[in-house]
Chain A
């Protein structure tokens, strides 16, 4: 709480000059995808793996696909995932592919303002141009819904979007995923899903007072999830101690049944029902393979050690499909 107060004071003290400067400080980097054609199936698969469908559809209330999701309650306020159907007025139908790419990978709105990290764009930062075009194509298959989603209800000072630029400067940690030498293709695919679009860390990694992910505690659990639930640690040692194996985790990510016979509750039940149960079996096994095979130390396992000139293992953005 003291942290919050201090920040509020800091925001206040900066005064108008500071606000004016920060507010006009451009944050988006230009992208040029042009008319890149997308593959709707690939995009739909990615939209499932990435949780777009889960968050932006109010399934529990019978809402239409992508027409706006259930509010996410956080200490900063309640964030409503907006309508992202192709409706030109209430959705994103009048956006360009480039604007969509900037929103998704950089978290910046078409008007240059920042999105709140409740939209987990940090995890989408490493999607390739093709991935973005695929998602765009998939979104076009959804009927436009001409109804506005509810407004987010965010408390002062967090309702000042310009403040997010400071937040970004301090905490933004965009995913950058490089294959790790010596690990199997399965493991690397798992790394890509877990640290990228499947955004497991969004819940399983703790956050600081201002909602920034604590990178040193990656996947070590989070006791403060929206709605007051807890996500346990999913580090290899913790998982092994609870009897998780690649086979039973892949099964669990499809059915929700844990090795002790309990069935996931809270956010995890939704992750399975609206997300991982739609994945190919190979991808569920890849996720499990990656999570269960980590170096014993809490040192940031799975942190890219590539990009060091190892042939064929350099960083390339984007999701490969595990199908062929």
Chain B
């Protein structure tokens, strides 16, 4: 009796989660998988095959775009880590109790504004007739307007800006759990600043670093608005290809296949990263 009630309550609690996973994630993906595996032989006539995937590998522009997206995402992840780590360290270890909340909130503020508005804000600043160009001209640093938009540096900057929070949050929470005495012990036993950072702080924060990197990499590789708006036609982001197949060419089969290629690619990169750092998904998710 008692056992049945327990099982029932477990089912009731678990049901919404299971529904959510099944309806919103598993089912659509199964549908997509199905679509990606059919080839169009004539209008409204399809047959099963890997043609859409072969298409991807046969066309260099597609996989070049994917590689470019992957490497730029890695760069964004690295930059977010390098910039985010000192910020997280400051928030978790140096700032006082009261300042901590305020700083955290300040990191959150960008998220209160939608992606779109944020990107347009950047455009306003950086376009040829934008604030930066005008200010520099006014100050006499440059004598003709400069276009700061539509290049890789701007795209990377925008992506770092939008994703860095997802690096900072897990880092703060792992560093917060680190006893200050551990750092002092590192010095007390004879370590200098770099040694303590390398041998104690970074290894301790590794689960946070890895989970932050996973999230940032996933978000970046799958992002659409920021690269399109800031990078324009030159951005060649892989999600743009997917969008193109679905919407412009109305080729859902190719779009779905591209989607799965992206999923496989990012999973592969993350698997490699976990292997490289000796972490498992379990430890990183549990510790941060």
A and B are partners in one complex rather than unrelated chains: no
